Structure 1
């Protein structure tokens, strides 16, 4: 087992164990307070735990080398996992949103805003501690799975603080003219969580679908690749004319079609340029391989 694989496993285990504790407490508080917002939070976190457990089991496959039998290695499994995760999040979102709307239309419900606010601030502080530990562990590696997990914890911290502040504000409205909102406040927060999470889930799902079908990555990634490679080719006699970029999971293949003004080009020169480009790309992208292809003259 490589060093990177060990660190990935440790980070995901930390996320899994702490996530299980959070979900247990979230479901307890959701049942006790009858809060749709807390229930929504717990359901999202529970779906995340299922994916973390499956990812832990499959991590060794992601590090296997490509072969003639598996030209893309097992990288596409990562994309399929993300697709499954995306559909799970969408299913949870639609199911709980329907329940929230039903409660909203039936007149809402009164909840203990102070208790939920206090609980969310505790979750936010705990999540921040876990996030800091994960960031320190992640310094030595570059892993798409870990980056996605860290991003998820950042979101957890952000909306736990947001929910804590929101429910604290709801307790202040009881003595004001806006007291009529308090029975519906929980459902309003739940809907806001849906609006906050849904775009990211759709974005993650669409990216994974593109990776499965081996489409080129998003425009920002393409521009970054062209900047890195173009900067190196600009100092040579090779003129880049077309970039063919394929990505699936954590692996990416870059084929640069080029033209040359002279009639001949040394193989040694080609090898040196290719090595330089691959070294530059490897500093930015994990498992990225580049090759230079002479474009045919029409």
Structure 2
């Protein structure tokens, strides 16, 4: 938890400095694209501060009263952050379209490109530091933060290159779009950010409603557990997998043709399955359950 909080504090302080710098630059340059970046960073800070405040809850052990702990709270915060970013993004996009429809506005392309180049270099350094600190951790919140910094680096590089290129429009057939270039870039930012942001949002919503994870995760779990059970002479017939926040619960229903089942062998199989899953998934618990003859709702695996 200490390392996780250190990473989030690093993101909070540096993100705050970037947001302030971008707001001043947006006011000075009159750029809608820079204003969108500043609003995006500022909205992230609100949720990030709340996440830091609630961090101790995410690491509390599960109990009989709270079988999922506070893991669902983590997913709910990711959902709130996702909807907040979407609302800010679409709101500023509408403003950019409105400015474009009223004639657009001219901005200093060289000035903005230099500013974005500096932002990109600093963001890249922070991203590399966060990824190095996050090597041994598994946290949806950290994954979303690191994704946000990836977006910042790519966005700043692309935006700087685009505005630098716009300075060569004069005297070319593209000169007519110069007043609208700032708005075009801001709308392209939305198209660039939306797919991954929506993917994280959908995942968090599925986690809150305790849906099974994505197909790639399910296939990997089936492969790991299936290999363990096969070596023990057990036949897996149904996988009940629940993920919420950073926790993963795996229940594997199995059948055995033999008349007897040695309890010690079942315990060894369960221990081996948990050890194998722990190598790829943090906070993962696996249990093996023998399927009864009357449990017709259990369908054989694909």
TM range (shorter): over 0.9
Aligned positions, number? 294
Paired residues for 1:60-209 under 5 Å = 60-209=56-205
| 3-state SS of 1:77 partner | helix
Candidates 30, 35, 42, aligned match of 2:38: 42
After TM superposition, the score normalised by the length of structure 1 is 0.96
Runs of 4+ in 1 over 6 A off after TM superposition: none
Alpha-carbon deviation of 1:18? 0.5
After TM superposition, the score normalised by the length of structure 2 is 0.95
Paired residues for 1:20-59 under 5 Å = 20-59=16-55
Candidates 6, 11, 14, aligned match of 1:15: 11
Greater CA drift, 281-290 or 115-124: 281-290
CA contact (8 A) 2:151 2:193 kept: no
Alpha-carbon deviation of 1:220? 1.1
Alpha-carbon deviation of 1:139? 2.6
Matched, 1:243 2:239: yes
Alpha-carbon deviation of 1:206? 1.4
Greater CA drift, 136-145 or 223-232: 136-145
| 3-state SS of 1:207 partner | helix
Q: 1:95-131: CA deviations, max 9, x gaps?
A: 1111011001111100011111001110000001111
Alpha-carbon deviation of 1:147? 2.4
Alpha-carbon deviation of 1:186? 0.5
- Aligned partners of 2:178, 2:226: CA distance in 1, in Å? 58
- Aligned partners of 1:23, 1:104: CA distance in 2, in Å? 24
- Aligned partners of 1:131, 1:94: CA distance in 2, in Å? 26
Q: 1:13-50: CA deviations, max 9, x gaps?
A: 01100100000000111111111111111111111111
Greater CA drift, 190-199 or 132-141: 132-141
Greater CA drift, 214-223 or 201-210: 201-210
Alpha-carbon deviation of 1:146? 1.8
Greater CA drift, 48-57 or 69-78: 48-57
Alpha-carbon deviation of 1:196? 1.2
User: 1:266 is matched with which residue?
Assistant: 262
User: 1:228 is matched with which residue?
Assistant: 224
Alpha-carbon deviation of 1:272? 0.6
| 3-state SS of 1:59 partner | helix
User: 2:298 is matched with which residue?
Assistant: none
- Aligned partners of 2:230, 2:23: CA distance in 1, in Å? 58
Aligned-residue CA RMSD in angstroms? 1.1
Alpha-carbon deviation of 1:285? 1.1
